[in-house]
């Protein structure tokens, strides 16, 4: 975490210089400044997963001439896919004129131009999340398909391949989670029977449904899906999620989800990692983003 704090300070120092240069040139108020981040820390239950810390990124936008009444509290859900349409809209360029492929996102200009607080666009009261294949480490380079929805302070998740290991297979080092002291401690605590609590949360197999109150439980530690009191909310979120995915013709929902596992993995050096490792054709050093001690016997 200290490394991250240092990197953030380093970025901030350069960012200040950028803003000072724009101001010196008289262009600061006429420039849309967007600051955001990558998807999650490379820790268990973060990067490569579908939890709160996996997908809820920091986002700051400044535009002196374009954002009315700045520093308001806005409750609309927005996404990375909204950035390109926003910039095109701000420049007065239609999607057809841009020469780009059709964008699924929507411009944020309406939010910028109003002075109101709260939920500005009623259609932005939820956001969908999903995962297919993030890293290698399973037989045949198979992924771990997940679909989810965030709405009203809750996160609802459907896991589709319950027999698979969500962070990669143990014998190939849980390759979906980068090496770190945290990972090593969790694995060792489980190996010596000191505690399996964090191992189950981070690397163990999961239930079909997960439900979390991300307002009070952003770490997503308490799964509410089996609580009868949350059944109405769970069913409501499930209906909205599946309805939207059908409208998008998501192969996973339309019965052709296995197509995602058939695409060849991009890097030949680690393609078919699991099978090649089990045959002794490649070594643990081939996975340079994890420690050799991450591999289970």
72 contacts: CB under 8 Å, gap ≥ 6 = 115, 116, 117
Q: Is residue 11 part of a domain?
A: no
Question: Does a structural domain hold residue 3?
Answer: no
- What pLDDT is stored for residue 44 in this prediction? 84
Measured from the Cβ of residue 113, the count of other Cβ atoms closer than 10 Å reads 12
Residue 23 lies in a domain: no
Q: How confident is the model at residue 145, as a pLDDT?
A: 97
- Whole-number Å distance between alpha carbons of 165 and 203: 7
Has residue 244 been placed in a domain? yes
Alpha carbon distance 32, 108 (integer Å): 12
**Does some domain include residue 256?**
yes
Structural domains counted in the chain: 1
Write down the pTM of the prediction: 0.92
Here the CATH number for the domain that contains residue 105 is 3.40.720.10
Any domain includes 18 = no
Domain holding 195, by residue range, is 32-294
Q: What is the block-wise mean pLDDT of the chain (297 residues), using blocks of 10 residues?
A: 88 97 97 88 86 91 93 91 95 90 91 94 94 90 96 97 96 94 95 95 96 96 97 98 96 95 88 94 92 94
Q: Is residue 223 part of a domain?
A: yes
């Amino acid at each position: 975490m200290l490394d991250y704090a240092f990197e953030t300070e380093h970025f901030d120092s350069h960012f200040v210089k950028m803003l000072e240069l724009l101001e010196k040139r008289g262009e600061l108020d006429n420039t849309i400044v967007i600051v955001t981040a990558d998807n999650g820390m490379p820790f268990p239950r973060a990067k490569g997963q579908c939890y709160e810390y996996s997908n809820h990124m920091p986002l700051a936008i400044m535009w002196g001439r374009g954002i009315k009444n700045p520093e308001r509290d806005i409750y609309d859900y927005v996404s990375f896919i909204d950035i390109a349409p926003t910039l095109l809209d701000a420049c007065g360029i239609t999607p057809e004129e841009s020469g780009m492929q059709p964008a699924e996102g929507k411009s944020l200009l309406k939010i910028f131009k109003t002075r109101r607080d709260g939920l500005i666009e009623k259609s932005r009261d939820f956001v969908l999340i999903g995962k297919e294949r993030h890293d290698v480490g399973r037989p045949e380079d198979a992924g771990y398909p997940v679909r989810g929805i965030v709405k009203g302070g809750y996160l609802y998740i459907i896991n589709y391949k319950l027999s698979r290991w969500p962070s990669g297979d143990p014998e190939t080092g849980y390759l979906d989670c980068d090496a770190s002291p945290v990972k090593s401690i969790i694995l060792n605590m489980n190996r010596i029977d000191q505690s399996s609590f964090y191992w189950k949360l981070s690397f163990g197999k999961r239930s079909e449904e997960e439900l979390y109150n991300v307002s009070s439980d952003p770490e997503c530690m308490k799964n509410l899906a089996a609580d009868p009191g949350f059944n109405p909310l769970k069913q409501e979120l499930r209906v909205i999620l599946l309805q939207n995915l059908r409208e998008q013709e998501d192969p996973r929902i339309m019965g052709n989800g296995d197509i995602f596992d058939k695409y060849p993995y991009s890097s030949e050096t680690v393609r078919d990692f699991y099978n090649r490792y089990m045959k002794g054709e490649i070594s643990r050093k081939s996975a340079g983003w994890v420690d050799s001690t991450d591999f289970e016997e």
